[in-house]
Structures are given as C-alpha cells and as structure tokens.
Amino acid sequence: MADNSSAAVLGTGIMGAAMARNLLVAGLEVLVWNRSKEKAEPLAEDGAKVADSPAEAADGADFLITMLPDAEVTAEVVWGVALDSLADGAVWIQTGTVGVEGCENLSKLAVEKNVAFIDAPVLGTKAPAENGELIVLASGPEDVKEKVSPVFEAIGKKTTWVGEAGSGSRLKLVTNNWILGLLATLGETVAFAEELDVDPEEFLEAIGGGPLDLPYAQMKAPMMISGDYPTSFPLKLARKDAGLVLEASGDLPMKVSEAAAALFDAAIESGRGEEDMAAIREGVKEGRGS
C-alpha cells in the first residue's frame, strides 16, 4: 500500500469501529463518520479523525468503506458529495449486508460517479471484527484487487474473491441463511431440552468434540441457557438479514427461514431487538405464550 493512503469509514457501530481501528494499526490515515457522532468519537483516541459529515470524511480518501445497516441508508449517505469528494482512482468498498437488489442499486451509483466498486460483505461479529479476523467475501473488478488487498488483510484473516460485484452479496445471503436456520434450531433445542427436564449443558457436552459439534453452537447456546445476551450482533439486524434472504428467494419455498424470521419477530416484540441475535431463544418462549 502506498504511504499515506487514507480510508474513510462510514458507519462506526460494532463492526465499523473495529474495522477502523484495525486500519489504523495497519498504518492508514483513517477518517470516520457515524450518524450518531458520539459512537465515532472514541475512535479519536486511537488516532482517527472524526468527521462531521460523510463528505468531510471522504474528502480526498483513497478508500471509501461503508458499514451501514442497509442499502437505502448506504445510498443516502454516499450519494452526491461523498462520492464526489474521493481522491482520483479511489475505491468504494461496501462491506455491509445489503441484499441482491440493494447491491445492484449501489453499484449503479458507483458507475454514475465513475468510482470503482467492490462488493465485500464480511462474515463475523464483534470479536472477529476486533481481532481483524473477519472473512471477506469480495467481488468486483479485477484491476483493483491488488490495490484493496492490504485493506482486506487489515480487517480480516481470509478474503475469498467470488466474481463480479454482487457475487459477494449473493454468497453472504447463502451463508446467512445457514446461520438463521442454525440459530432457530439451537433456540428450539435449548427450549426442548428444558421441556424434557434435560440440562441443556448436557446437550452441549454430548455433542462436544464430535462430528455434530459446532463452535457457533458452543458460543451461542450458553447465552440462550442463561438468558443473558451481550450484543455481538444485534437481533434486529439479524431479522433484517432474514428479510433479505426471503426477498431474494423468489419462488423457492424457504420454510425454515420463514420460521426463523417469525421467531426473530417474536423476540423483537418482547423488547430484545438491541440484544444479541441469540435472543431468538426468547422468541421460542413468546411462541408458546410463556
């Protein structure tokens, strides 16, 4: 990476803030912006410059990195001055989960502004983001792969290139569908164990270390058992991702994903939307009226 390369990070929630810090460690000049400025301000202590607007953050930046809740918010934030403010030859790296149609719309904005666009949603939540161990599902023009690789090396432990822009978002939806089904099944399994007077910890011990074991289950099930859900990835955003999966499924029956979405809805209605997505377990409780 050239000396003095700069990156504008728009969206400094759990994921964006961690990515910004890892970019600083990698030696980039980092400018950050968030709709709620107070969430961006702690990054100043790490060496980032906190901007008052997306345009200020993007001014002269070599990389524009967006980690925002959805495609509509992303488009609103970058359109116009922010994209116009970038350095010549800058690359826009879209890392959020925006869905198939959303990615297509964002790509069109980049084309209109003649900005190279990389669709690169990431796999991982709070801890992997903080440790620079995200998995990047990158897609976009071949001629900027080398340019953006140091950025991906800073934020992740693995980058998978999967074709033209939009391919990354499609793969992310497929992966998210698997996660949604796993969470719903895990929540019901914990509830089922309790219904049969089986300690759910015995279930985790039974599968531990064998072919049925999953590190993800070992991480999320204790939250479900304790009823304590410190946020690694908010449940409300997981529900948004479920909606993107169902939206993209067309005529394909997606019964498991529909059931997972219903459990998310029940958990959100019980006031758990800001908690970790493992709180889908509470949706199981609400479903039985308890």
Say yes or no: 249 and 186 in one domain: yes
Look at residue 4 in the predicted model and tell me its pLDDT.
75
Tell me what pLDDT residue 290 has.
44
Look up the domain containing 212 and give its range: 170-287
Instruction: Say how many domains are in the chain.
Output: 2
Same domain, 53 and 69: yes
Same domain for 24 and 150, yes or no, is yes
Mean pLDDT of 229-242: 96
Q: Is the pLDDT of residue 97 over 70?
A: yes
Are 259 and 277 in the same domain? Answer: yes
Rounded to whole angstroms, what are the CA distances from 220 to 106, 137, 148? 33, 23, 33
For residues 13 and 136, membership in a common domain is answered with yes
Got the DSSP string for 193-214?
Answer: HHHTT--HHHHHHHHTTSTT--
**pLDDT surpassing 70 at residue 75:** yes
Cβ atoms 20, 12 nearer than 8 A? yes
* Average pLDDT of the residues of the chain: 95
Q: At what angle do helices 235-248 and 99-112 cross, to 10 degrees?
A: 90
At 288, the pLDDT band (50, 70, 90 cuts) reads: low
Q: Is 80 exceeded by the pLDDT of residue 233?
A: yes
pTM equals: 0.94
Angstrom distances, CA of residue 230 to CA of 61, 127, 180, 265 = 34, 12, 18, 19
Span 130-184, pLDDT tens digits: 999 999 999 999 999 999 999 999 999 999 999 999 999 999 999 999 999 999 9
Active site residues: 172
- On whether both 129 and 218 belong to a single domain, the answer is no
Residue 236 belongs to a domain with what CATH number? 1.10.1040.10
